[in-house]
A and B are shown apart, each in its own frame.
Chain A
Amino acid sequence: MLTSSFATYNIISTITNEKRQDIAIMKSLGMRETSVRSIFIMEAAIIGIVGMIVGWAIGYALCYGWSQIKIYNALTGTNVPISIYYSPLHYIVAGGISLICCTGAAFFPARTATRVHPVEIIRGAS
């Protein structure tokens, strides 16, 4: 979670840095800071949703693979598969936490970027 949060933080930091001029334009036109910020948080949320779906698929595949491994039970003298308990709740909780981490990690660089003073950027570009 920490690694993915850092990755999201870095991605959004890079994007907002590249989009400083666009942020200044949007602010100069009268868009509120919260509206501009929400664009980047939405972007992070989309990254998070894609990551969540891929994570679910990989998680399910790993669990399925794990369940195919058989271990010897000395009490019964048979090989039995590892028991995996599948619950949608696990997927929802894991997905929800990763989504919160993703959007949370994006909030801080987005907030810093949208606090930019449009005049500074406009003057700099002129």
Chain B
Amino acid sequence: MSEIALQAVGLVRRIEGEVSHTLVNGIDLAVNKGEFVAITGPSGSGKSSLLYLLGLLDAPTDGEVIICGQPTSKLSESDRADVRLTKCGFVFQFHFLLPEFTSLDNVLLPMRAAGIMAEAEMRERGLALLDSLGLGEHANKRPNQLSGGQRQRVAIARALANRPEIIVADEPTGALDTASTEQVFSILRDIADKGQTVVVVTHDPALAARADRRIHIVDGKIAEITERGRAELVCEAAS
């Protein structure tokens, strides 16, 4: 039986106000370790809201998010930050790199915040990550000296910095051209194939089709789940 990396139990996110609005409405979901899951759905369906809940960026109104066996609903904001820092890596539609920092410094940021590694070890890992994503020669460049695809790859390197169990990506190819989109697709697929769990929100049917499982959200609820066998993916890669 596969080990569950990320689980949502009865997840509800409601915004209270004069007119209350339910963004996520009772979602139950389990994502296995090393699985690549794509969350799709029309605009305003609640897919990004679900992703933010799964990545502990937002707190549910009701329900529970369990990350690597750890329930999170009763954690303090600081403890939730610690879980985000060590167990989740985030990639957003826009790179959200710190503009004053070089690529390497941006990648080092989560490692420095975690404070687990020595400076030399962090730099070595940061450079290795950038190198593995084809950005070795851009380590000392600032975001404004990089192309959109390169910035997004730096953001992926930053997400991988603390060796998180789960990579959470919100429309990671939404602002990229076709060639960069293909690169980011391949990197995310590769990350999942190496054993890390990847959950991606996307409008892109091509990216969703390459996921192990596609979860279609409508009005904050799961409308459809489409599973793809690993064998099919291997055949596709071979061809």
Contacts and interface: CB of A to CB of B under 8 A. Distances in A.
Interface stretch (A9-17, A50-58, A117-125): A117-125
Interface in A103-126: 117-119, 122-123, 125-126
A37 to B, nearest CB: 12
A28 B86 CA distance: 12
Interface in A27-41: 27-35
B109 A29 contact: yes
Instruction: Pick the most buried of A21, A27, A33, A119: most chain B CB atoms within 10 A of its CB.
Output: A119
B82 A30 contact: yes
Contacts of A25: 96, 98
A63 interface: no
Contacts of A28: 57, 84, 90, 96
Contacts of A21: 96
Contacts, number: 56
Contacts of A123: 48
B157 interface: no
Contact of B85 (A30, A34, A117, A122): A30
A125 B94 contact: yes
B98 A29 contact: no
A30 B98 contact: no
B113 A22 contact: no
A31 B81 contact: yes
A119 to B, nearest CB: 5
Given A118-B57, A119-B57, A119-B58, A30 B88 contact: yes
Given A29-B109, A31-B81, A126 B94 contact: yes
Contacts of B86: 30
A21 B85 CA distance: 18
Given A35-B113, A119-B52, A119-B58, A30 B84 contact: yes
A33 B94 contact: no
Nearest to A35: B113
B92 A29 contact: no
Interface string B75-117: 0011001111110101011101010000000000110011000
